[in-house]
Chains A and B, each alone.
Chain A
Amino acid sequence: MKGAQLLVRALEQEGVDVVFGYPGGAIMPVYDALLDSPIRHILARHEQGAALSADGYARASGRTGVCIATSGPGATNLVTGIANAYMDSIPVVAITGQVPTPVLGTDAFQEVDIFGITMPIVKHSFMIRRAEDIPRIISEAFYIAAEGRPGPVLVDLPKDVANAETTVPPIFEMKSPVRRRPDPDQVEEACRLIRQAERPVLYVGGGVIMARAVDAFRKYAFASRIPVVATLKGIGAVPTRHADYLGMLGMHGNLAANKAVQASDLLICVGARFDDRATGRLDGFAPTAKVIHMDADPSEIGKLRHADAGLLGDLRYALESMPTDLSIEPWQAWCAERREEHQWRYDAPGEGVYVPDMLRRLTEADKNLTITCDVGQHQMWVAQHCHFQHPQQHLTSAGLGTMGFGIPAGIGALMADPTARVLTVTGDGSIMMNLQELQTIRRYDLPLKILLVDNASLGMVRQWQELFHEERYHEVHLSDNPDFVVVARSFGIEAFRVTRRDQVDGAIRRLLATEGAILAHVCIDPKTNVWPLVPPGQTNDVMLEGISA
Chain B
Amino acid sequence: MNHTLKLTIQRVEGALIRALGLIERRGFAVTSINAEADAAAQQMELTIEVRSAGRSADVLARQIEKLFDVRAVTLMPAEEPAVALEESMAC
Q: Chain A: residues with CB nearer than 8 A to chain B?
A: 115-116, 119-120, 124-125, 127, 129, 144, 297-299, 302-303
Contacts and interface: CB of A to CB of B under 8 A. Distances in A.
A302 B59 contact: yes
A125 B62 contact: no
Contact of A119 (B14, B58, B59, B63): B14
A119 B23 CA distance: 13
A191 to B, nearest CB: 24
B40 interface: no
A298 B62 contact: yes
Contacts of B41: none
Contact of A298 (B18, B21, B65): B65
Contacts of B63: 299
Interface in B1-59: 13-14, 17-18, 21-22, 25, 56, 58-59
* Contact residues on B (Cβ < 8 Å of other chain), bracket: 10 to 19
A299 B17 contact: no
A119 B18 contact: yes
Question: SS class of chain B's interface: helix, strand, loop or mixed?
Answer: helix
B58 A298 contact: no
A125 to B, nearest CB: 7
A120 B68 contact: no
B66 A127 contact: no
A115 B14 contact: yes
B21 A119 contact: yes
Contacts of B17: 116, 119
Nearest to A140: B68
Contacts of A120: 21-22, 25
A299 B66 contact: yes
A303 B68 contact: no
A24 to B, nearest CB: 23
Contacts of B18: 119
B62 A299 contact: yes
Given A116-B14, A298-B66, 10 more contacts: A116-B17, A119-B17, A120-B21, A124-B68, A127-B14, A144-B68, A298-B62, A299-B59, A299-B63, A303-B59
Contact of A302 (B13, B58, B65): B58
Contact of A125 (B14, B59, B65): B14
Contacts of B68: 124, 144
A162 B81 CA distance: 51
Nearest to B63: A299
7 smallest CB-CB distances across A and B, nearest first, come from A299-B62, A299-B63, A298-B62, A124-B68, A303-B59, A127-B13, A120-B25
17 contacts: A115-B13, A115-B14, A116-B17, A119-B17, A119-B18, A119-B21, A120-B21, A124-B67, A124-B68, A125-B14, A127-B14, A297-B66, A298-B62, A298-B66, A299-B59, A299-B63, A302-B58
Contacts of A116: 14, 17
Contacts of B58: 302
A144 B25 CA distance: 22
A33 to B, nearest CB: 24
Contacts of A115: 13-14
Contacts of B66: 297-299
Contacts of A119: 14, 17-18, 21
Nearest to A306: B56
B21 A302 contact: no
Contacts of A125: 14
A140 to B, nearest CB: 8
Nearest to A126: B13
Contacts of A127: 13-14
Nearest to A148: B66
Contacts of B14: 115-116, 119, 125, 127
Contacts of B25: 120
B1 to A, nearest CB: 16
B57 to A, nearest CB: 12
